[in-house]
């Protein structure tokens, strides 16, 4: 019983416009059962009893932290199904199987769970002083770090500000899901994923299986944005159900379940203080970062606070800096990576301070930034390395036509550094047979069309036409290892691996064919090459955004245009790049104006539909202009990471544009609608706008 | 035994008959009973439009229509566009302008765009934005989708003349 | 997100539909466009034993003027309102509102009757009908009756319709010359329900003074509201009297009882009413002078 991609149309665009993509939920296998998960309606409760279906009394598995989330062993174990106590609304407590989703939904009504509700801890600021949400812990603190050195400095300008980015749901259009098939000894999982190898590792570990006996195949994947890198309790339960029943089991969640149970991004508070001279030159930076990690510190909770703090200085130079960073538990679904994962928070906090500095000193916002930009590679007092930034930012300002547009329009700027998730490297494999070349990557596309650059790199390296190259879905059986696709990494690392694999394939062919070697002869033979690429050099890259804002006829402030200027290295495909960036711009706009998770005091999620979580439509999308600075990286193919740049650069720039337009200061994202209204809250006094 | 109703629906030009429970949603009928998995499900609140199909030539969200309601009526899904290996101009537009990334919203977008161009062959950009405002795309930021629809409109006009 | 089981019937006439409703006591529900009811079923927030699908009842889909009313059949789709030249010309508030409801796909199915009989204080058409001073026609086991809009919206998700009655028609009085209406709605994103909405319908006399003023409010109370004090205060005022319009805004804001939710605070919503009523009066009277 296997799902194959044999004979499928190679061009994914064509496949998708025809409706012949193969997503997890499209799989139909003989005898397949449908899994429905029963979830906690309480943010915090003791489970007194649970009967019906598969429960935590039967399946005692706990979750491993893998993939982009990976954060090592945690003090608390996260059960696949909880039989003792629950810690967020939506936490799985039982599961039932039905012949189809209707049958499964009906059966779920027969599961009986008795709870004793407890008072939840919701506010991260209060969590430090509240009783621990997990028995046996001393408090709710799961990570604390100090970076740089405490300092005292006399400065004529000192500015303090508390800034917030509210939690948001990643909301890929395809929700999470999988199909598990067990043949008595091997488990095959068809997955909607950013990382088949992380799934393999996590499922094997949670279920006590050998990695060799678990195969994970990536299906067409309808977006991830960070949420499909690691594994979730439901995956373990579905795999277990397939092993138990020896029948294929499908789990495909609803949007409601997706919003309740998928790791959310952001949820960070930054207290910032900058010291500067009257010309706006920074003399020092202090910060305190607080991350709301939710109920279990698996989704990056252990490291995110430090990670954010480490990059606060961004592309600037500051003589002294000191930061403290804490992560606390609350009764909410776990925090996890969402496009940018820590980078947007750091940039928003720092760029807001740069704008304040401009306002306090009267120095233009671009000039203040340039004065603190660097002409040399530097390492910040918080430990982060940055490339020289001044040149690129000056270029960006010219490209933006900043000085002339600033006079007529309400514009905001941001400068930032993007640190791609290069750790771990990435793999690629090539196989030549029957006149065609198959290409696999260890971590691959869930919407980024990696096939496009993969094919063009292979074709360039081997001198063969693109139409003999077949890009393959990532399958842990076809390639020996891999990492995953997130953190602006795949084009740089996967691309690097493809170049290396192509070169070793070519070398092998040359060795065999000697003088007779030609691309055509290469295609006549049979060759295989796999490469695991680990970059040695600094891959941190820079970007800038400019946004402009205006009022609608009805007096609402909106973002009118976003211009992106990113150092993308050698651009592998300008078309795809533009689309990636504009997609990120939409998410950035969502983040400042609409997107958020709102919880009630008792921990109920009040934003539990895709409409209420704030994802934007075509009608709310501003104009997006994309420009790139082409400066090759040191990688074999010259690429640089860029996927997360817009969610880093757009929020601060667009927030500033709105601030300039309305003359109101914004410190929390998303900005409340009433603050974007060009009258006072009473609807009487019109705000004077520029 | 729950009540079932016998329905006959013309789907993409072919008459399909089945006995279904009244509560069966049209999108599930298409996907599960008929295997037409091009219509996707992206939400449960009638918000995303991934399930958009034409019902008697009008675009609507098939997750919010009962299969029994389609009895005796015509449904067209993304699989019914184009024909004999050829793409419809709307589909061509999406390929030419790369109006997609992960492809999940694409079938719904394509159907909404198709319905728009049937009614308004020469839409303005605002018309296009409004016409696809019931369809959510999380990947593209919509710009390339709008370009795709413009492309399609031109191609259709060329075909007509 | 799977509906519970129910039985289904698709009668061909209003009479048949009423009989079916009657046969089940309170257990049956009418299915019109389904754009509110089916989402509720999916959430299992409604569990009728029988759905009476009225989409196959003929003669309920029309827009026409007769007997001093614009008559809109209950099964008329919102998208039909969008495209009506008559509405655009003479029933500005209804036309405006129809374009702000949901999204084009939902509008292709959602009906006027459903929008009014759902009793949702966030639906847009009730405020329009209230502002127009309209009425509704219903058919039940004991025949037809009409209900004034003011008497129709009883509470959140409850209307004056009995469980075995079917709404057949919404009636908007044909406005005299020099009349105009607008619907102003503040929503966060397309397809969001109103944070607040205001329908204004005015008629001016020869001196450009307000002869009749109707004001309906969306989303700021347990039902759509008729701002009667604000309406009365405007009669006899000049159409250009900004101060009077602001006072009407104040009165309407006082009459509203919004609650804080994810769309905004109570204070903000009241502020919106104040502003939208003021602005609505100005725009409606502009249309009146242009004869829209
Ligand atoms: C994403 C989304 C966004 C929306 N946004 C808006 C919005 O901004 N503004 C807005 O006004 N609406 C909005 N709606 C609601 C939409 O307009 C619905 O169509 C409308 O509320 C109900 O109309 P319907 O014909 O679909 O009714 P149904 O869903 O079929 O029925 C709704 C209720 O009315 C009863 N009913 C229907 N017709 C009759 C009748 N003739 N006689 C007696 N009872 C009847 C039903 O029994 C049911 O209880 C939105 C809906 C969705 C899904
Ligand atoms: S699945 Fe139908 S609108 Fe989302
Ligand atoms: S292409 Fe991914 S949702 Fe539109």
| A172 Cβ closer than 6 Å to some ligand 3 atom | no
Nearest CA to A461 out of A516, A537, A531, A512 is that of A531
A609 and A654 share one domain: yes
Give me the CATH number covering residue A84.
Answer: 3.90.1170.50
pLDDT in tens, A474-512: 999 988 888 878 777 877 888 888 999 999 999 999 999
Higher per-residue pLDDT: A687 or C246: C246
B residues 16-55 closer than 8 Å to A (CB):
21, 23-24, 28, 31-32, 35-45, 47-48, 50
Q: Are residues A585 and A542 in the same domain?
A: yes
Are C75 and C13 spatial neighbours (Cβ–Cβ below 8 Å)? no
Q: Is the pLDDT of residue C290 over 90?
A: no
**What pLDDT is recorded for position A573?**
80
- Residue A291 maps to a domain: no
Q: Is residue A415 part of a domain?
A: yes
pLDDT of residue A268: 97
Within a domain: A409: yes
For the Cβ of B100 lying below 6 angstroms from any atom of ligand 3, the answer is: yes
Average pLDDT over residues A278-298: 96
Residue with more model confidence, C198 or A485? C198
Based on the domain organization, do A458 and A347 belong to the same domain?
Answer: no
Q: Quick one: pLDDT at residue C287?
A: 96
Mean pLDDT of the A214-224 span? 95
> Which H or E run includes C141?
none
Decide if A446 is inside a domain.
yes
Residue A502 and residue A550 in one domain: no
User: Using DSSP, how many helices (H) and how many strands (E) does chain A show?
Assistant: 17, 26
Q: Report whether pLDDT(A57) > 80.
A: yes
Residue C235 tokens read as 């009669």
In a domain, A284, yes or no: no
Which segment of A180-189, A625-634, B42-51, C280-289 scores lowest on mean pLDDT?
A: A625-634
Q: Which chains touch A (3 or more CB pairs under 8 A)?
A: B, C
3-class DSSP state for residue A122? Answer: coil
Coil, strand or helix at B32: helix
Q: What is the pLDDT of residues A12-30, one digit of tens each?
A: 899 999 999 999 999 999 9
Reply yes or no on whether the pLDDT at A629 is more than 70. Answer: yes
Same domain, yes or no: A235 and A92? yes
In this predicted structure, the answer to whether residue A260 has a pLDDT above a threshold of 90 is yes
Per-residue pLDDT tens for A343-394? 999 999 999 999 999 999 999 999 999 999 999 999 999 999 999 999 999 9
**Residue-level pLDDT at C233:** 97
- Could you tell me the CA-to-CA distances from A395 to A157, A310, A404, A574 in Å, in that order? 29, 27, 15, 19
Contact A582 B31 (CB under 8 A): no
Q: What is the pLDDT of residue C147?
A: 98
Rounded to the nearest angstrom, the distance between the alpha carbon of C57 and the centre of ligand 2 is 27
Higher pLDDT, A685 or C188: C188
Judge if the beta carbon of residue B101 lies within 6 A of ligand 3. yes
Tell me, yes or no, whether A330 lies in a domain: no
Same domain as A411, residue A529: no
∠ CA A417-A423-A427, rounded to 5°: 120
Q: Residue B37, exposed/middle/buried by CB under 10 A (0-12, 13-18, 19+)?
A: buried
Structure tokens at C253: 């804001």
CATH 3.10.20.30 boundaries in chain B: 5-80
Q: How many CA atoms lie within 13 A of B1 on its CB side?
A: 5
pLDDT band at A43 (very low <50, low <70, confident <90, very high): very high
Instruction: Pick the residue of B31, B35, B104 with the most A CBs within 10 A to test the interface with A by mutation.
Output: B104
pLDDT computed for residue C61 by the predictor: 98
Burial of C149 from C-beta contacts in 10 A (0-12 / 13-18 / 19+): buried
Task: Judge if pTM exceeds 0.90.
Answer: yes
Span C209-233, pLDDT tens digits: 999 999 999 999 999 999 999 999 9
Pocket perturbation via mutation, ligand 2, pick of B60, B63, B78 by most ligand atoms within 8 A of CB:
B63
**Rounded Cα gap, residues C29 and C20, in angstroms:** 10
Rounded mean pLDDT of chain B? 96
State the distance from the centre of ligand 1 to the C-alpha of C37, rounded, in angstroms. Answer: 7
Which residue among B49, B59, B137 is best mutated to probe the pocket of ligand 2, counting the most ligand atoms within 8 A of its Cβ?
B49
Mean pLDDT of C255-281: 95
* C63-173 CATH choice from 3.40.50.720, 3.30.420.130, 3.40.190.10, 3.30.465.10: 3.30.465.10
- The domain that contains A489 carries what CATH number? 3.30.365.10
Does the pLDDT of residue A102 top 60, yes or no?
yes
| d(CA C220, nearest CA chain B) in Å | 23
Picking from A683, A684, A685 by the largest number of C CB atoms within 10 A of its own CB, the best residue to mutate is: A683
Q: Please indicate, yes or no, whether residues A512 and A544 belong to a single structural domain of this protein.
A: no
Q: Is A223 in the pocket of ligand 3 (CB under 6 A)?
A: yes
Q: In which band, very low, low, confident or very high, does the pLDDT at A66 lie, cut at 50, 70 and 90?
A: low
3-state DSSP assignment of residue A93: strand
Is residue A371 situated within a structural domain?
yes
Q: Which CATH class is domain B89-160?
A: mainly alpha
- Interchain pair A620, C1: CB under 8 A: no
A156 is written with which tokens? 């004529």
Supply the range of the domain harboring residue A631: 341-421+538-676
Mean pLDDT for A414-421 is 92
Query: Which two three-digit tokens encode residue A594?
Result: 């609409």
CB atoms A619 and C274 under 8 Å: no
By C-alpha distance, the chain C residue nearest A108 is: C2
User: Considering the domain boundaries, does residue A444 fall inside one?
Assistant: yes
What pLDDT score was predicted for residue B161?
Answer: 64
Residues of chain B with CATH 1.10.150.120: 89-160
Q: What is the ipTM of this complex?
A: 0.97
Kindly report the nearest CA distance between residue B14 and chain C, in angstroms: 23
Would you state the pLDDT for residue A574? 84
More confident residue, C103 or A689: C103
Name all residues whose Cβ lies below 6 A of ligand 1. Answer: B 46-47; C 29-37, 39, 74, 101-102, 106, 110-111, 113-115, 117-118, 120, 123-125, 161, 166-167, 191, 193
Q: pLDDT for C226-262, tens place per residue?
A: 999 999 999 999 999 999 999 999 999 999 999 999 9
Domain boundaries, chain C: 7-53, 63-173, 179-289
Q: Is the pLDDT of residue A69 over 60?
A: no
Q: Report chain C's mean pLDDT, rounded to a whole number.
A: 96
Q: DSSP code of A659?
A: H
Contact C274 A684 (CB under 8 A): yes
> Quick one: which ligand is closest to B140's CA?
3
B51 lines ligand 2 (CB under 6 A): yes
Same domain, A32 and A63: yes
Task: Give the tokens for residue A503.
Answer: 């070169």
- For the stretch C95-118, pLDDT in tens is 999 999 999 999 999 999 999 999
Q: If you measure CA to CA, which chain A residue comes closest to B84?
A: A18
CA angle at A299 for the pair A295 and A304, rounded to the nearest 5°: 105
Using a CB–CB cutoff of 8 Å, tell me whether C110 touches chain B: no
The average pLDDT across A328-355 equals 96
A-proximal residues of B, 71-110, CB under 8 Å: 77-79, 81-82, 87, 91, 94-95, 98, 100-107, 110
pLDDT of residue A609: 96
CATH number for C7-53 (one of 3.30.450.40, 3.50.50.60, 1.10.3210.10, 3.30.43.10): it is: 3.30.43.10
Cα gap A237→A177, rounded to integer Å: 12
Question: What does the pLDDT look like over C22-64, one tens digit per residue?
Answer: 999 889 999 999 999 999 999 999 999 999 999 999 999 999 9
Phi, psi of A145, deg, nearest 5? -145, 155
Question: What is the pLDDT, as a whole number, of residue A553?
Answer: 83
Chain A partners within 8 Å of C267 (Cβ)? 674, 681-682
Contact A254 C1 (CB under 8 A): yes
**Do residues A201 and A102 share a domain?**
yes
Contact assignment for C191 to B131 by CB distance below 8 Å: no
Of C51, C104, C191, the CB nearest to B47: C191
* Confidence bin at A396 (pLDDT 50/70/90): very high
What pLDDT, on the 0 to 100 scale, is given for residue A690? 61
Q: Is the predicted pLDDT of residue A281 greater than 60, yes or no?
A: yes
User: What pLDDT does residue A70 have?
Assistant: 61
Which superfamily does CATH assign the domain made up of B5-80 to?
Answer: Beta-grasp domain (3.10.20.30)
When the pLDDT of each residue in chain A is averaged and rounded to a whole number, the result is 93
**Ligand 2 nearest atom to the CA of residue B47, by list position:** 3
Contact call for B104 and A174, based on CB within 8 A: yes
- Residues A188 and A248 placed together within one structural domain of the fold: yes
Using a 6 Å cutoff on CB, does residue B50 contact ligand 2? yes
B55 lines ligand 2 (CB under 6 A): no
Residue A617: both structure tokens together: 């439509």
C-alpha C35/C-alpha C134 separation (Å) is 24
pLDDT of residue A10: 79
Note the pLDDT of residue B57: 96
Look at residue A245 in the predicted model and tell me its pLDDT: 98
C189, C246, C267: residue with CB nearest A616: C189
| Spatial separation of the C-alpha atoms in residues A373 and A354, rounded to whole Å | 11
Q: What is the pLDDT of residue A412?
A: 98
C232: number of Cβ within 10 Å = 12
- Count of domains observed in chain A: 3
Domain C179-289 fold is Enolase-like; domain 1 (3.30.390)
Chain A residue numbers with beta carbons less than 8 Å from the beta carbon of B144 are 578-579, 582
pLDDT over 70, % of chain A: 98
Query: Which residues does chain B have within 8 Å of residue A171's beta carbon, measured at their own beta carbons?
Result: 138
pLDDT digits (tens, 9 = 90+) for A441-475: 887 777 777 888 889 899 999 999 999 999 988 99
- CB B146 near ligand 2, within 6 Å: no
- Looking at the structure, tell me whether residues A104 and A205 fall in a common domain: yes
For residue A485, the model assigns a pLDDT of 81
Average pLDDT over residues A115-128: 96
Identical fold between C7-53 and C179-289: no
Among C residues 186-215, those touching chain B with beta carbons less than 8 Å apart? 190-191
């Amino acid at each position: 019983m296997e799902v194959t991609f044999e004979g499928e149309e190679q061009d994914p665009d064509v496949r998708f416009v025809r409706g012949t993509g193969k997503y997890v939920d499209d799989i139909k296998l003989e005898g397949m059962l449908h899994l429905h998960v029963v979830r906690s309606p309480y943010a915090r409760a003791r489970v007194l009893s649970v009967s019906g279906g598969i429960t935590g009394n039967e399946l005692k598995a706990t979750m491993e932290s893998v993939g982009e989330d990976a954060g090592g062993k945690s003090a608390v174990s996260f059960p696949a199904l909880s039989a003792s106590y629950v810690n967020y609304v939506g936490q799985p407590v039982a599961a039932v199987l039905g012949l189809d989703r209707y049958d499964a939904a009906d059966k779920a009504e027969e599961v009986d769970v008795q709870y004793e509700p407890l008072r939840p801890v919701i506010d991260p600021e209060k969590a430090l002083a509240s009783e621990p949400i997990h028995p046996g812990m001393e408090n709710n603190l799961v990570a604390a770090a100090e970076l740089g050195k405490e300092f005292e400095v006399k400065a004529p300008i000192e500015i303090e500000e508390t800034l917030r980015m509210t939690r948001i749901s990643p909301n890929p259009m395809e929700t999470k899901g999988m199909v598990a098939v067990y043949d008595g000894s091997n488990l095959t999982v068809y997955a909607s994923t950013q990382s088949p190898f992380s799934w393999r590792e996590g499922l094997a570990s949670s279920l006590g299986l050998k990695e060799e006996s678990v195969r994970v195949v990536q299906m067409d994947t309808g977006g991830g944005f960070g949420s499909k890198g690691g594994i979730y309790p439901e995956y373990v339960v579905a795999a277990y159900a397939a092993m138990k029943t020896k029948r294929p089991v499908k789990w495909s969640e609803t949007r409601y379940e997706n919003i309740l149970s998928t790791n959310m991004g952001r949820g960070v508070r930054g207290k910032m203080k900058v010291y500067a001279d009257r010309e706006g030159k920074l003399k020092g930076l202090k910060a305190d970062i607080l991350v709301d990690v939710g109920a279990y510190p698996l989704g990056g909770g252990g490291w995110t606070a430090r990670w954010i703090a480490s990059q606060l200085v961004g592309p600037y130079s500051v003589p002294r800096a000191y930061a403290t960073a804490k992560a606390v538990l609350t009764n909410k679904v776990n925090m996890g990576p969402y496009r940018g994962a820590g980078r947007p928070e750091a940039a928003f906090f720092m760029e807001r301070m740069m704008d304040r500095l401009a306002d306090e000193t009267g120095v233009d916002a671009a000039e203040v930034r340039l004065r603190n930009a660097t002409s040399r590679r530097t390492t910040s007092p918080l430990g982060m390395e940055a490339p020289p930034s001044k040149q690129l930012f000056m270029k960006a300002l010219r490209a933006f036509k900043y000085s002339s547009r600033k006079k007529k329009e309400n514009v905001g700027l941001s400068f930032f550094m993007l640190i791609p998730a290069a750790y771990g490297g990435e793999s690629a494999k090539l196989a030549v047979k029957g006149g065609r070349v198959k290409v696999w990557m260890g971590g691959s596309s869930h919407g980024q069309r990696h096939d496009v650059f993969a094919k063009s790199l292979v074709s360039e390296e081997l001198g063969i036409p693109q139409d003999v190259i077949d890009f393959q879905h990532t399958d842990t059986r076809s390639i020996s290892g891999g990492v995953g696709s997130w953190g602006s990494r795949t084009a740089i690392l996967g691309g690097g691996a493809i170049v290396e694999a192509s070169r070793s394939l070519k070398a092998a062919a040359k060795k065999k064919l000697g003088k007779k070697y030609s691309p055509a002869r290469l295609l006549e033979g049979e060759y295989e090459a796999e490469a695991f690429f680990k970059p040695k050099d600094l891959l941190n890259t820079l970007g800038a955004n400019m946004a402009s804002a205006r009022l609608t006829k009805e007096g609402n402030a909106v973002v009118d245009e976003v211009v992106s200027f990113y150092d993308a290295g050698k651009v592998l495909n300008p078309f795809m790049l533009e689309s990636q960036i504009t997609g990120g711009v939409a998410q950035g706009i969502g983040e400042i104006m609409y997107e958020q998770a709102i919880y009630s005091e008792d921990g109920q999620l009040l934003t539990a539909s895709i409409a209420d979580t704030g994802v934007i439509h075509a009608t709310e999308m501003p104009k997006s202009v994309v420009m790139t600075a082409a400066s090759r990286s040191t990688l074999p193919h010259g690429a640089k990471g860029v996927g997360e740049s817009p969610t880093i650069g757009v929020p601060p720039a667009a927030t500033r544009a709105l601030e300039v337009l309305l003359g109101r200061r914004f410190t929390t994202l998303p900005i409340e609608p009433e603050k974007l209204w060009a009258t006072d809250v009473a609807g009487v006094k019109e705000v004077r706008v520029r | 035994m729950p009540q079932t109703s016998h329905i006959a629906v013309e789907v993409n030009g072919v008459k399909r008959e089945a006995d279904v429970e009244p509560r069966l949603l049209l999108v599930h009928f298409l996907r599960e009973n008929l295997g037409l998995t091009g219509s996707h499900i992206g939400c449960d609140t009638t918000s995303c439009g991934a399930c958009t199909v034409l019902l008697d030539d009008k675009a609507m969200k098939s997750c919010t229509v009962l299969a029994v309601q389609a009895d005796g009526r015509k449904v067209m899904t993304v699989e019914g566009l184009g024909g004999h290996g050829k793409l419809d101009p709307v589909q061509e537009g999406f390929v030419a302008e790369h109006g997609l990334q992960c492809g999940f919203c694409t079938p719904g977008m394509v159907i909404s765009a198709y319905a728009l161009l049937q009614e308004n062959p020469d839409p303005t950009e605002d018309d296009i934005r409004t016409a696809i405002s019931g369809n959510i795309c999380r990947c593209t930021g919509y710009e390339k989708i709008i370009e795709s629809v413009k492309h399609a409109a031109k191609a259709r006009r060329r075909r007509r003349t | 997100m799977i509906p519970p089981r129910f039985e289904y019937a698709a009668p061909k006439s209003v009479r048949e539909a009423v009989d079916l409703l009657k046969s089940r006591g309170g257990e049956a529900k009418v299915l019109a466009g389904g754009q509110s009811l089916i989402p509720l079923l999916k959430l299992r927030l409604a569990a009728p034993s029988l759905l009476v699908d009225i989409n196959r009842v003929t003669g309920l889909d029309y827009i026409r003027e007769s007997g001093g009313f614009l008559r809109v059949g209950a099964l008329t789709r919102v998208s039909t309102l969008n495209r009506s030249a008559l509405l655009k010309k003479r029933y500005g508030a209804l036309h405006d509102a129809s374009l702000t409801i949901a999204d084009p796909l939902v509008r292709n199915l959602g009906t006027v009757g459903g929008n009014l009989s759902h009793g949702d204080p966030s639906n847009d058409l009730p405020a329009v009908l209230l502002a127009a001073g309209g009425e509704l026609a219903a058919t039940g086991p004991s025949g037809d009756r009409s209900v004034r809009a003011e008497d129709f919206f009883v509470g959140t998700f409850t209307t004056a319709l009995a469980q075995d009655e079917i709404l057949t028609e919404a009636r908007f009085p044909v406005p005299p010359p020099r009349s105009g209406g607008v619907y102003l709605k503040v929503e966060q994103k397309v397809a969001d329900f109103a944070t607040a909405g205001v329908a204004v319908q005015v008629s001016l006399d020869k001196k450009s003074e307000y002869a009749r003023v109707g004001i309906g409010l969306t989303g700021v109370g347990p039902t759509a509201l008729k701002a009667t004090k604000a309406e009365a205060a405007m009669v006899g005022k000049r159409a250009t009297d900004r101060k009077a319009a602001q006072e009407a805004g104040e009165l309407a804001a006082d009459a509203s009882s919004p609650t804080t939710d994810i769309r905004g605070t109570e204070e903000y919503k009241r502020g919106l009413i104040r502003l939208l009523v003021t602005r609505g009066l100005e725009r409606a009277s502009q249309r009146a002078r242009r004869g829209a």
